[in-house]
Homo-oligomer: A and B are copies of this chain.
Amino acid sequence: MTPELQETEKENVPIEQIIKKGVDVICGKWRLIIIHLLRDKTLRYGEIKRAIPGISEKVLVHELKQLVELGMVDKQSFGEVPPRVEYRLNEKGHTVLPVIDVLSQVGRVFM
């Protein structure tokens, strides 16, 4: 399939499906909080953990894995002792930032 064809197909997708996909990508109790944290800096696992006191180890590991699988976050492991793992919001992940900005306005209205 050529990239052009993919693009055409995307154009024909009903808006309801596009909204649903967007909801899948951003919804979740912690997802946008983590993306917001990574907005302008690369962080180590422990730094993310400390910045979100309410999150459990298990959930944070799962969330980070999902963000990597969705292609929004790059994970880099360094061969060091103790092990160092860093997370960075990549180009695709940056497309979500405008959602956080408008959603914060909504949050303020409904607070």
Contacts and interface: CB of A to CB of B under 8 A. Distances in A.
Contacts of A29: 20, 23
A109 interface: yes
Copies of this chain: 2
Interface residues of A, number: 39
A61 to B, nearest CB: 19
Contacts of A109: 92, 95
Contacts of A10: 108, 111
A33 B92 CA distance: 24
A25 B102 contact: no
A23 B103 contact: yes
A27 B27 contact: yes
A84 interface: no
Most chain B C-beta atoms within 10 Å of own C-beta, residue among A15, A28, A109:
A109
Contacts of A99: 99, 102-103, 106
A25 B98 contact: no
Interface of A: 10, 13, 15-29, 32-33, 36, 52, 70-71, 92, 95-96, 98-100, 102-111
